[in-house]
Chains A and B, each alone.
Chain A
């Protein structure tokens, strides 16, 4: 499983766009990139998953360059409620009984008024 590296913490202000970058230099050809969000006293919540280029949903966008050695989670116009820990994971996206996900250290995002 490819190891991921992300900033330990980030600060931003309400209304700003926040970009969290994750490095995964050893990503394998069949690996997908997945991001989770965890609020205090809650389990992680799936945000977005992608393989290459750009993926967008109602919550965030995920940008993946051609070499796939990094990815950037983009949160548009953050609010105080986006304060959470964000985890980047890399692993095989196909369903397999042998697959499992490994959480890295995550990025603690703090949003200020």
Chain B
């Protein structure tokens, strides 16, 4: 199994600022995913990040707002830019288990509150 850590675990930020969330995996993985989970809601995929290529964003999410880096096979960052209170959410990263993309390991999440 993969062990995934995220930093920070939570943060409170001011409107208009940016926050970078880090995701570290204890083994090399091909695909990493970033999700958003608003309070009481299900998970929404933001983007898929493969090492060595640009991230692929889902409808409704753009690179200018959520830039992603994937410098190596064990690490990725998601930045939430120019934040507004609507960005208050839990942000989760996940990785594929190697067998299929339907079975993923998830990190503990980063709880973001924007004032």
Is there an interface contact between B101 and A43, defined as CB atoms closer than 8 Å? no
Number of interface residues of B (CB under 8 A): 29
Q: Which of B12-20, B40-48, B61-69, B77-85 contacts A (4 or more CB under 8 A)?
A: B40-48
Closest chain A residue, CB of each to CB of B100: A93
Inside 8 A of A41's CB, which chain B residues have their CB? 108-109, 111
Tell me whether chain B's interface is mostly helix, strand or loop, or mixed. strand
Known A-B contacts A42-B109, A43-B107, A100-B48; A92 and B43 likewise in contact (beta carbons under 8 Å): no
A contact residues, total (Cβ < 8 Å): 26
Most chain A CB neighbours (cut-off 10 Å) among B4, B35, B45, B102: B102
Query: Are B48 and A104 neighbours in the complex by a CB distance under 8 Å?
Result: no
Q: Is the interface of A mostly helix, strand, loop or mixed?
A: loop
Nearest Cβ in chain A — how far from B31, in angstroms? 7
Q: A25 near B: Cβ within 8 Å? A: no
The yes or no answer to A46 lying at the interface (CB within 8 A) is yes
Shortest CB distance A52–B (Å): 15
19 pairs, CB–CB < 8 Å, chain A vs chain B: A32-B102, A34-B102, A41-B109, A41-B111, A43-B106, A45-B106, A46-B103, A87-B42, A91-B102, A92-B100, A92-B101, A92-B102, A94-B100, A95-B96, A97-B30, A100-B45, A100-B48, A103-B43, A104-B42
**A-B contact sample (4 more), CB < 8 A, given A49-B102, A92-B102:** A32-B102, A46-B104, A95-B100, A100-B33
Residues on A close to B: CB < 8 A? 32, 34, 41-46, 49, 87, 89, 91-97, 99-106
